[in-house]
Amino acid sequence: MKKIAVLGSTGSIGTQTLDVISRQPEDFQVVGLAAGNNVSLLLEQARKFQPQWVSAANEALADQLRAELPAGVRVVSGEAGLTEIAGHSGADYVVCALVGSLGLKSTLAAIEAGADIGLANKESLVTAGHLVMDRARRKGISILPVDSEHSAIFQCLNGESGKAVKRLMITASGGSFRNLGRDQLQNVTVEDALKHPNWSMGAKITIDSATMVNKGLEVIEAHWLFDLPYDRIDVVLHPESIVHSMVEFVDTSVMAQLGNPDMRVPIQYALTFPERKASPASPLDLLKQGTLHFKPMDFERYPCMRMAYEAGRAGGTSPTVFSAANEIAVARFLRGEISFLAIEEIIEKVLSRHTVAASPSLEVILETDAWARLEASAKQ
């Protein structure tokens, strides 16, 4: 039985993780749940799964939980609460489903504690991939991809080494505005941006999908997870989100992983690997599906894709700036403070003001993250 902690349990990935777990009670014991502000859902989850550790965004919310939960439950809060649950709840497997670079310290704490990780929180790999992968390697723990594209690549690779791989092809839906040209993006609304064509996800990643920042983050995530240079990681537009990604091998064979868009499949595979179990997802019927489409990435239409490759290739603190500036810009867009197109303008401006530091320590990454957030918060 795996002892599991879920960080970000009230979010899109967190709730689907608990759904997967609840269907296999004999295989999993939930020992920790961590969330932010949604204490009513967190309380419901805590009553159902009875973890020994629970964390909320702040002490006031933690007090609400303490009043409702049995005295034996350790209720903690804030960033320290997240790292405590990751590192001290006794979990041997931690699902990192927090959103943003907030997830970094708890990912590192889980590694330090020797827990395997189901990683959804791509921003922690983007901002500090060298530290995360190096520490995971030294501790001998596994980082299992939850992100659908990386799960697909992981499944296609099936243990084959980098030498056998010619390139990865990460698929991209094109996001909520894929049928609009750049000249039609001027006045698009938050409401429309949140309508992803194929997936139901948290707000931040849905906006990232519309700007193509999500795919940029995923290219950098793939670079770290699969140890491949950027010129062997391509992105292909695929509007149906049925092929979740592909690997081309040196002998010209191409392996692809297909399925209806349902995150419970990659989440479950990360939890049960190397076993496969039956899933509640609806089976893919390719005969009904009929046709699948593929187009080359359009770097003019999606400038964030270009910026992501540039940031990834520049390395060092550059991906930290790309990701942190984007987080602030997306939050501002969601609050109605800036336009959709201002997101990419802010990222570009903050990147242009940054002097890249090579091989940054954790302290330098955190300082750079704070700097980029401040810069991205400045009035347009």
Ligand X SMILES: CC(=O)[C@@H](O)[C@H](O)COP(=O)(O)O
Ligand Y SMILES: NC(=O)C1=CN([C@@H]2O[C@H](COP(=O)(O)OP(=O)(O)OC[C@H]3O[C@@H](n4cnc5c(N)ncnc54)[C@H](OP(=O)(O)O)[C@@H]3O)[C@@H](O)[C@H]2O)C=CC1
Quick one: 129 or 360, whose CB is closer to Mn ion?
129
Stretch that binds Mn ion, among 34-42, 107-115, 141-149, 341-349 (CB under 5 A): 141-149
Among 173, 245, 257, 323, binds ligand X (CB under 6 A): 173
List the beta bridge partners of residue 34: 7, 55
In this structure, the chain runs to a length of 380
Pairing of strands 143-145, 53-56: unpaired
Binding residues among 220-259 for ligand X as defined by CB under 6 A: none
CB of 257 to Mn ion, least distance (A): 12
Measured distance CA(321)–CA(376) in Å, rounded: 10
Contact between 7 and 34 (Cβ < 8 Å): yes
What does DSSP assign to residue 117?
E
- Report in angstroms how near the CB of residue 214 gets to ligand Y at its nearest: 7
Q: Is 15 in the site for ligand X (CB under 6 A)?
A: no
Map tokens 């056998």 to a residue.
Answer: 164
- From the list 12, 254, 20, 268, the residue with the least C-alpha distance to 121 is 12
By a kind-dependent CB cut-off of 5 to 8 A, residue 57 interacts, out of Mn ion, ligand Y, ligand X, none, with ligand Y
Residue with the two structure tokens 């949604």: 38
Structure tokens belonging to residue 197:
């064509």
Closest residue by Cα to residue 110 from 87, 127, 89: 87
Site string for Mn ion, 320-359 (x = CB under 5 A): ----------------------------------------
Tokens standing for residue 25: 């009670």
DSSP conformation class of 278:
-
Q: Which does 84 bind (CB under 5 to 8 A by kind): Mn ion, ligand Y, ligand X, none?
A: none
User: Which residue(s) pair with 116 in the sheet?
Assistant: 93
- 3-state DSSP helix/strand/coil percent for the chain, to nearest 5? 50, 15, 35
Look up residue 285 and give its two tokens: 């019927």
Is 13 annotated as belonging to a binding site?
yes
Among Mn ion, ligand X, ligand Y, none, residue 129 binds (CB under 5-8 Å by kind): none
- 158 has binding-site annotation: no
Among 41, 50, 74, 199, binds ligand X (CB under 6 A): 199
Is the CB of residue 31 less than 8 Å from the CB of residue 74? no
Rounded Cα–Cα distance for residues 69 and 77 (Å): 15
**Any contact of residue 147 with Mn ion (CB under 5 A)?**
yes
User: E strand or H helix at 33, and its extent?
Assistant: strand 28-34
Smaller CB distance to ligand Y: residue 122 or 380?
122
Compute the least distance from the CB of residue 252 to ligand Y, in Å: 30
In whole angstroms, the minimum distance from the beta carbon of 336 to ligand Y comes to 18
Strand partners for 170: 235
Q: If we measure between CA atoms, which residue out of 5, 1, 3, 139 comes closest to residue 84? A: 5
Give min distance, CB of 211 to ligand X, in A. 10
Contacting residue, 89, 214, 323, 368, with ligand X by CB under 6 A: 214
CB closer to Mn ion, 123 vs 375: 123
Q: What is the smallest separation between the CB atom of 169 and Mn ion, expressed in angstroms?
A: 14
Which part of the chain contacts ligand X (CB under 6 A), choosing from 51-59, 167-175, 304-312, 356-364? 167-175
CA 177 to chain centre: 21
- Point out which residues bind ligand Y (CB under 6 A): 8-14, 35-38, 57, 82, 97-99, 102, 120-123, 147-148, 199, 201-202, 204-205, 263
172 lies in the binding site for ligand X (CB under 6 A): yes
Buried b (16+ CB within 10 A) or exposed e, 25-58: eeebbbbbbbbbebbeebbebbeebebbbbbbbe
User: Which residues carry a binding-site annotation?
Assistant: 10-13, 36, 38, 121-123, 147-149, 173, 196, 202, 209, 214-215, 218
Binding positions for Mn ion, rule: CB under 5 A = 147-149
Binding positions for ligand X, rule: CB under 6 A = 147-149, 172-173, 175, 199, 205, 209, 214-215, 263
